[in-house]
Amino acid sequence: MKLSTKIGLGLGALGVSAMLAMPAWAQAAAAAGPIFNPTPEQQATMVNKGDVAWMAISSAIVLMMSVPALGLFYGGLVRTKNMLSVLMQVFMCVSVIALIWVCYGYSMAFSQGSTPFVGGFSKAFLAGVSPSTYAATFSNNVYLPEYVYVIFQMTFACITPALIVGSFAERVKFTPLIIFLVLWATLVYFPIAHMVWFWQGPDFLKGSTAPNGLMWQWGALDFAGGTVVHINAGIAGMMGCLVMGKRIGYGKEPMPPHSLTMTMIGASLLWVGWFGFNAGSNLEANAFMTLPFINTFVATAAAAVSWALCDQVVHGKPSMLGAASGAVAGLVAITPACGFIAPMTSIILGLLVSPLCFFFVSTVKNKFGYDDSLDVFGVHCIGGIFGAMMTGVFADPALGGQGFIDYTVFPSVAGAYDMTAQVITQFKAVCVTLVWSGGVSLILFFLLDKTIGLRPSAEVELEGLDLNEHGERAYNY
């Protein structure tokens, strides 16, 4: 559940129509309208097999975004001697976070807390979760089996910390990194996910005094994770790259990508998986799901084109790496916006995000001299901020956007959209994420660096992490 008291306009209406189209419980509903505060037994009759199938498939392809897609995208960009270190960091991040997600992560992110900042531990070790418990969607009286929601959100928790490793690729020790990722997920990801996405659901909100997530309550719009995933990971990566310092030889010796072929494959698989990420975040396989789907397609295409054009204009040649980077920047920017804006405004968003990220990964990075190895900050954080802010603009129904739905009434209705207020809310959500994630990450990196150390010895770094940290080579010719 990833919206606010303000939710995509089409969602509720479509939910109601879907509800009426379902004969299994149309009779019960027809008698009294949608059921307020349905019991789990009643929720059991409000599950749609199509929704369940869609969410299971979406979950699987979002996993594919981490392994192999992100691994290949990142791996292709490092030098041969560090290829396996990046693949292993991503692979282990996914595996470790999946375990802590079911132990306590899901509970911290998506159970009712006593504050708006974080959930409780009532669902730790998936206590009380079974095939006969249910999670809310964005429509009144439409439910998902809770397990599929646990799984879907697990894939998000797995990929977000994995994004961070790109910032300090080629110069980090494996064990301290894994410790960092576990602490970061616990102290940053789970609380931020709770703050942005936790709410009680459309059938329970009216008259409830229990706290929803902080930013959700403010009305911040983040359809699929611009703040939770991209800004969150991007700023954390930046902190890591600043604490760890530059790679030996950075700026003095060439560090060209070892296989842009793999980077292209990775970026393309990310694009495919992102349909699960964005359109899957609709939580229902209803007609409205097609909006984030098409937006994800065209914004990405536009961003790939505009980055290639930037390359053409600035460097005289359109580069493959540029096109792949542009596609990822477009995917990042459309993530918070995909369920709120129109295809044509998605194209504008995509066309604009690439020049901005292009400026950050070349000009800004070179000017300040930080070594964000794979441009996690320049693409994910900057693209995420841009997407989050533009969501507030383009979600306006006056610009073809979806506005929001007011769930404080039952059944939910469309709310009146105020673009200025929404943009300010978006800005507040961006700032909270930057400060929380940036601050906690900086402290964690600093402490780890001063205790067990984050950087390998110069000798190890020069020889490569693959042989020294993992005892194998990526390529044995």
Partner 1 sequence: MKLVVAIIKPFKLDEVREALATLGVQGMTVTEVKGFGRQKGQTEIYRGAEYSTNMVPKIKVEVATTDALASRVVEAIQQAANTGAIGDGKIFVLEIGQAVRIRTGETDDVAL
Q: Which is nearer to partner 1, 245 or 257 (CB)?
A: 257
257, 294, 418, 427: residue in contact with partner 1 (rule CB under 8 A): 257
Instruction: Give yes or no for residue 362 binding partner 1 (CB under 8 A).
Output: yes
Instruction: Give yes or no for residue 290 binding partner 1 (CB under 8 A).
Output: no
319, 370, 397, 419: residue in contact with partner 1 (rule CB under 8 A): 319
89, 325, 412, 437: residue in contact with partner 1 (rule CB under 8 A): 325
Of the candidate spans 99-107, 228-236, 342-350, 354-362, the one that interacts with partner 1 by CB under 8 A turns out to be: 354-362
312, 315, 409, 451: residue in contact with partner 1 (rule CB under 8 A): 315
Q: Which is nearer to partner 1, 237 or 336 (CB)?
A: 237
Instruction: Give yes or no for residue 363 binding partner 1 (CB under 8 A).
Output: yes
Q: Which is nearer to partner 1, 2 or 380 (CB)?
A: 380
Q: Which is nearer to partner 1, 325 or 422 (CB)?
A: 325
Of the candidate spans 55-63, 192-200, 311-319, 348-356, the one that interacts with partner 1 by CB under 8 A turns out to be: 311-319
Instruction: Give yes or no for residue 321 binding partner 1 (CB under 8 A).
Output: yes
Beta strands at 134-136 and 405-406: parallel, antiparallel or unpaired: unpaired
Which positions ≥6 away from 401 have C-beta within 8 Å? 340, 341, 342, 345, 394, 395, 417
Of the candidate spans 193-201, 237-245, 320-328, 430-438, the one that interacts with partner 1 by CB under 8 A turns out to be: 320-328
Of the candidate spans 19-27, 291-299, 314-322, 436-444, the one that interacts with partner 1 by CB under 8 A turns out to be: 314-322
Write down the least CB distance from residue 380 to partner 1, Å.
14
Instruction: Give yes or no for residue 303 binding partner 1 (CB under 8 A).
Output: no
Of the candidate spans 129-137, 179-187, 255-263, 459-467, the one that interacts with partner 1 by CB under 8 A turns out to be: 255-263
Instruction: Give yes or no for residue 255 binding partner 1 (CB under 8 A).
Output: yes
Q: Which is nearer to partner 1, 73 or 293 (CB)?
A: 73
The CA distance from 137 to 134, in Å, is 10
The CA distance from 176 to 455, in Å, is 9
Q: Pull the structure tokens for residue 263.
A: 């980077």
361, 388, 405, 444: residue in contact with partner 1 (rule CB under 8 A): 361
Instruction: Give yes or no for residue 79 binding partner 1 (CB under 8 A).
Output: no
Residues binding partner 1: number (CB under 8 A): 17
Cα–Cα distances in Å, from 169 out to 3, 28, 80, 186?
A: 33, 57, 12, 22
The CA distance from 285 to 303, in Å, is 27
For residue 68, cis peptide bond before it (omega within 30 degrees of 0): yes
Instruction: Give yes or no for residue 254 binding partner 1 (CB under 8 A).
Output: yes
Instruction: Give yes or no for residue 168 binding partner 1 (CB under 8 A).
Output: no
CA-nearest of 297, 179, 167 to 236 is 167
Which positions ≥6 away from 69 have C-beta within 8 Å? 266, 267, 269, 270, 272, 273
Largest CA distance in the chain: 75
Instruction: Give yes or no for residue 259 binding partner 1 (CB under 8 A).
Output: no
Write down the least CB distance from residue 218 to partner 1, Å.
35
Q: Which is nearer to partner 1, 300 or 325 (CB)?
A: 325
CB 35 within 8 A of CB 203: yes
Write down the least CB distance from residue 91 to partner 1, Å.
25
Which positions ≥6 away from 254 have C-beta within 8 Å? none
Write down the least CB distance from residue 358 to partner 1, Å.
8
Of the candidate spans 171-179, 199-207, 356-364, 406-414, the one that interacts with partner 1 by CB under 8 A turns out to be: 356-364
Place of tokens 């505060």: 37
For residue 411, cis peptide bond before it (omega within 30 degrees of 0): yes
Residues 370-409 that bind partner 1 (CB under 8 A): 375
The CA distance from 368 to 361, in Å, is 11
| 405-427 exposure pattern, b = at least 16 Cβ within 10 A, e = fewer | bbbeebbbebbebebeebbebbe
| Cα pseudo-dihedral 321, 323, 326, 328, rounded to 10 | -70
The residue type found at 85 is S
CB 322 within 8 A of CB 379: no
Write down the least CB distance from residue 267 to partner 1, Å.
13
Interacting residues with partner 1 (CB under 8 A): 254-257, 315, 317, 319, 321-322, 325, 358, 361-363, 365-366, 375
